[in-house]
Every structure is written in structure tokens, then in C-alpha cells.
Amino acid sequence: MSEIKFIDKLSKHFEKLPGVGKKTAERYAYHIAEKMTIDEVEAFAKELVTTKKDVKHCKVCGMLTDQETCPICASSYRTKDQIMVVRDTKDVIAIEKTNQYNGLYHVLGGLISPLDGISPDDLNIDSLEKRLDGIKEVIIATSFTPNGETTALYLEKIIKKDGLVVSRIGYGLPAGGDIEYVDELTLRRAIDARKINN
Ligand SMILES: [Zn+2]
């Protein structure tokens, strides 16, 4: 603990963020205390609270949004008979950046992980089964990690039905890597070269 208590108090909050260690957290705290104006700090604090209060899961796909139905589900320009299944909203953002996909999404909210006690019941899977009427293709875009594979196999089993193509993106994706960290070009190729399993 440093001698400067107000820095400790503030930096503790930043340390809770992913990828922020003690040193960086302290730099943020000093920056706020010394460099930012009161107006900037107030706007920042207000945005934090507003985001947390307003943002919820889209009632159709499960993606984070500040509306009842997210802009992708609500858009009339998207291909409505294609659903890409991803782990979380960060993956949607990564795939949207590629401009290679114009269908809908389904956000699971995690991956099946027996070691962490996460079962299919804990994820947004029931609602996927209910969305399949009129869908021609489901693209499974979970990562090539043990949990990603387990989830993909489980999904393939439960959504299989006549007339529905189930594919999986994969070509060129790193084994063990998360979709959100894959560069745009690789991701674009992986979507293009998706493999159809049935
Ligand atoms: Zn949605």
C-alpha cells in the first residue's frame, strides 16, 4: 500500500478491469487526480453508470445492447435465414469488423466448461433452438479451445435437423485462440472457408 491513500482507493477499482495491473491502475488514478478536469471526470462517471444501467441482453440473440432488440436483430438489411453462434458480444464485434458476414447472431454468454461447472443450462442455448424455424444455416464460431470444441459438438448434436445446414468456421484460426483476438483477414478467410458437417 502506498502512502497516498486516495490513489490506493481509486486504483483498486481499475485493478478489477481485465489486463490492468497495479502499476497501470495507479497511473490511471494519478491521471484522473492530476490531469482530468472535473467536467471530464463527471462525464466519465456518468457514462459508467448509464452504461451499466441501460445495457442488457438483446431478447432475441443475447448480445449486449441498450435497446430491447439489438440493432442487428432489428435491421432489415441482414440475411435473416443465417445465424452465427458465438461466445460473447466481443466476438460479434470482431466478426462485424470483417464485413464478411451479413446474417444474424446468437450469443451464448460463455462456453460449456465442465471444469468450471458451466453446463449447457447455464448458457443461452434454449433460445437458439427456438429460433431455428425458417433458418437455413447455423454457423458455429466458437474458438478452438477445449471448451470451444465441447460447445460446438454439443450444439451440432442438438440443432441438427433436416434442411438445416450446420457449418463451423475454422480455416486458419489458431488452435487454442479466442475469436476476439484473431486478426480481421484471418477471420474473414475463416468465415469464407467454413466447413459444413452434415
Ligand atoms: Zn439481437
Asked whether the beta carbons of 112 and 155 are under 8 A apart, the reply is: no
Distance 164 CA to ligand 1 centre (A): 21
Round to whole Å and give the CA distance between 15 and 21: 6
Distance 64 CA to ligand 1 centre (A): 8
Same domain? 89 vs 182: yes
Same domain? 82 vs 120: yes
Domain that includes residue 112, residue range = 57-196
Same domain? 101 vs 41: no
Distance 59 CA to ligand 1 centre (A): 7
Same domain? 75 vs 140: yes
Distance 172 CA to ligand 1 centre (A): 28
Give the end of a domain, one of 36, 54, 72: 54
Same domain? 151 vs 181: yes
pLDDT tens-digit profile of 149-175?
Answer: 999 999 999 998 888 999 988 766 766
Whether the model pTM is above 0.75: yes
pLDDT tens-digit profile of 62-113?
Answer: 999 999 999 999 999 999 999 999 999 999 999 999 888 999 999 999 999 9
